[in-house]
Structure 1
Amino acid sequence: MRHLAYLLAMVLVVSGCSQKTENGSSAEKQDDPVVLAKLGEDVITADEFIQAYEKIPPTTRPALDSLSAREGFLNDLINKKLLELGSLELFPQLPENQGYRLERYRRMQMTNAFNTALIRDKVSVSEEELSLAYGHKGREVEIEAILLPTLPMAEAMKKRLDEGSSFEDLALEYSILEYEDPDKPGWVGWVSSGTYDWEMEKAVWGAKPGEIVGPYLEKEGDTFFVVRVGESREVSDVAPRDELYPILEQELMKSKYFNRTRAVMDSLMTAFNPRFPDEGKRLMMLKYYWEPPPEMEDDPYAFLNDTRTDPTYSADEAMTVIVEFDKIPDWNAEVFTEKLSWYPTGLWPRGAEVSQLQEVYDRMIKDYLILQAAEDYKLNETETFKEVMTRREQEMRVNYLYHNVITADSDPTEEEIQAWFQENRERYRAPVNYKLGVIAVSDRAHAEEIRAEWMAGAKFGDLREKTLARDDAAEAIGETPW
């Protein structure tokens, strides 16, 4: 806080705002904000001055060590405020294309708020879990596994195995996993910690030989494992705890984040229960049928680049139900098309495969339910969200004013451009580039040894040759590109 107080003192010098005490001395007014500038009904206060200054990254923050520097920064704030006020007066409502962009930004911010509040903030890794995960690094476990496409199938499989059915026979008949040895259906082999999802790893490493565990979700996938646990064996050369802990924490957070995301989305899908009537599918396949124009028929990415327009519907077609929901209104063809229009045309249905249409459905419904949940949780009513949206709208309005009014008729000559460049060439100076010599080895002790020799004066070329001769796995680059 000391540097804030110092900066505030500097601001007061700029503003000259002070109050006379009874004995005639100057003193700050304690209750009212210090006003540095008035612009109509609006003001710039000392607090706003400080906040604006601190938002600038330290590497590009201007020095305010003189009166003229402080006046210059205040003038920048005044100009910014004038642009905001002027743009609001000229464009109280954003033009349609800018309003469209603002709405896209609002949806993105709501999605981010949803992910933060319902997923990211709900996920953490405890010290106990880190210790457990580190302990797993010291053992490998032999497993047999059956991989199935759906949770109900995996649950039914687990029940049959618990009742005594042959693991090998069921693996041979039902598993979608490709086994290394066709003569040993179900056998996966020795696996290391970190290979599978954390929940599955905890169960496998904590089970006794012969125990059957599952179902567990495939790591970052959508299929399910049922596992028979075999013997375990020790692993030597486990990295030190302080080296592995950051890596383990990152891996566990990633696994937990994925599982939390899936659980939240599954709960939303269950709550709203989207369904897709066949009549609606047929209509969408027909109306969104697309094939590349002749000039693009050899382009595998034509569907991403072609320009498409919304289909038209008869009155009856427009009312055809495309998606049915519980608790919220259904989507008819007209509503579906309006919602799809927010997506790039490269993501639209193409009418060739029902599976591709279903992918479009799934993407749209996921996005829609996230926004619905964000509104239900009133995440768009927080002060932070409102401030972000207000600031974004101000920026868009000012940019529109600048490009469409202030600089609309600007047409600088080549001489003016060159003069500007010469005057401001430091702004456009390319960053310093370096070439590097790199030696990479797999053993930390060896790396420390190389570093010590280098610091003692050994030549890089000699170290490079020596390292390559000693360690077949080493990599040594004499010189990288700039």
Structure 2
Amino acid sequence: MKKVAIALLSVTLISSSACAENKDAENKNIVATYSEGEVTSEQVMEQFKPMLDMQPENKDKKFSELDKNVQEMLVKGFINQKLFEKEAEKLGIRSSEDFKKKIKAAESQLLQQELIERQLKTAVTDKLIDEEYNKLAKELKGQKEIKVAHILVDTEEKAKEIKKKLNKGSKFEDLVKEFSKDEGSKANGGELGYVMKGQLVPEFENKAFSMKQDEISDPVKTQFGWHIIKALDSRDVKIPPKEQALNGIKGKLSRDTIEKYITELSAKAKIELKL
């Protein structure tokens, strides 16, 4: 009886082992083979999931749910990486001093990035985002924005000459093309688009916001040179929906958080420059 029991136990263990192997084989979704072996969809997704999660159209998708072209690109990318790694091993790159220095530098950057990301996770909260949006909406309420164009030149004499031409009937857009040194607005007739108070240098802004529609200014001096300003339009500022303002708010809060964190670390370190 004892021998029979042992035999039955052996058969059971062998059967269980065989079933486990079959189950593992079934769970393997082989998507490619190459000289070094098989590639499964699980291996590919483990490698590229962080990248895919940054793409709204692919976030949280399984390999089988991805577009065929994306699947092919990921599989080829996985194999290429493995081929590179094998070739690097043959050449002994990992053990070279030059590579070790690069790894150390890269590790330092990754540590900084990880530290900052952890700070932002706890610091940039939904509550802070809501508070910042409410603050923004309050600041924008009742504000005006103006649409302006300008001609920028180096000297007051040149600006006065241009103003005389405008008084005699020359077209503003033609003179922009001929004289303005602001390459950013030159191709668009000198237009700077809609701006609010605080977005322009004070001398330019003070004059522009005091002008009526279609009025053209006398020469105005700023740190950039001499301007002839044309007022094109004025309208109430529209308060953007929260979804539209979200990226800008998160960016601002992130910058403020990082700046504060670095300041705190520097204060604790009691830094003294001896240059």
- Tell me which protein shows more helix as a share of its residues: 2
Higher relative contact order (CA 8 A, sep 6+): 2
| Pair in the same fold by TM > 0.5 | no
**TM-score with structure 1 length normalisation?**
0.25
